[in-house]
Structure 1
Amino acid sequence: MSVNKVILLGYVGSDPEIRYPEKDKPVAFMSLATNERYANSTAEVTEWHSLVMGGKNAEFAEKYIRKGSRLYVEGKLRTREYDDRMKIRRRKTEIIVERFELLGRKNEPPA
């Protein structure tokens, strides 16, 4: 048995970018920032994650998710390879979002 499960809670770093690789099938791409504070330290480390949402999730993202939105995400890791403009082989690891909850905006009091 194996498990590929990611759970994140953070802030959206940019408005979703919507693409249509197939007609009538939107895909949303955005970044999510999570922060971690080390024990006995005031230093905080920010980690950036690439999110991918498809179908109805992408439609929702296009309408309601904006930079600064607080987002809870469940999904799985997926790594893909591609050639950039200079024909250099690149790898990118993304979170394929299966479930999410929009929790509000940055500096907005919790509901």
Structure 2
Amino acid sequence: MESAINKVVLSGFAGADAEIKTFGNQKLARVNLAINETYRNSGGEEVKRVQWFNLTFWNAKADIAEAQVKKGTGLRVEGRLQANSYDSKDGKKRYGVDVVVSDVVIRENEKQQAF
């Protein structure tokens, strides 16, 4: 049997500055990525919508995200999907999916910088 593949590539814009947390000697950066989509509905009208994705950067990539990812920064990321769950304040079980980033390109105007 062929091994499983868990890979995603996204291109969009940071919805806010990177949020940073530290756990001992580990650093985590979280960023919400907005991807604008346009399509035509069954009536032929153009519809625009925004899809939001949660990005997670660890350690050295978190350091760079902290320094360079601000609201509106253009990003192209590659990573893997990671499902998670947590208990909300109202006691309900909540589920989500994050993109754990392995590679990223920061798009600044026409210039791109990879890390």
Fold shared by both chains (TM-score > 0.5): yes
Deviation at 1:24, TM superposition (A): 2.4
Gaps of 5+ in 2: none
Greater gyration radius: 2
Return the letter of the residue paired with 1:92. G
Query: With structure 1 as the length reference, what TM-score do the two structures score?
Result: 0.88
Aligned to 2:34: 33
Deviation at 1:42, TM superposition (A): 2.9
Aligned to 2:60: 56
Residue 92 of structure 1 pairs with residue 115 of structure 2: no
User: How big is each residue's C-alpha offset from its partner over 1:48-91, in whole Å with a ceiling of 9 and x where there is no partner?
Assistant: 00000001000001111100000010001111011111221111
Aligned to 1:23: 24
Query: With structure 2 as the length reference, what TM-score do the two structures score?
Result: 0.86
Gaps of 5+ in 1: none
Return the letter of the residue paired with 2:19. E
Q: Which runs of 4+ in 1 moved over 4 A?
A: none
Aligned to 1:5: 7
Shifted more, 35-44 versus 54-63: the winner is: 35-44
- Aligned Cα RMSD in Å? 1.3
Match of 1:44 among 48, 62, 76: 48
Residue 78 of structure 1 pairs with residue 79 of structure 2: no
Identical aligned pairs, as a percentage? 29
**What is the number of residues matched between the two proteins?**
106
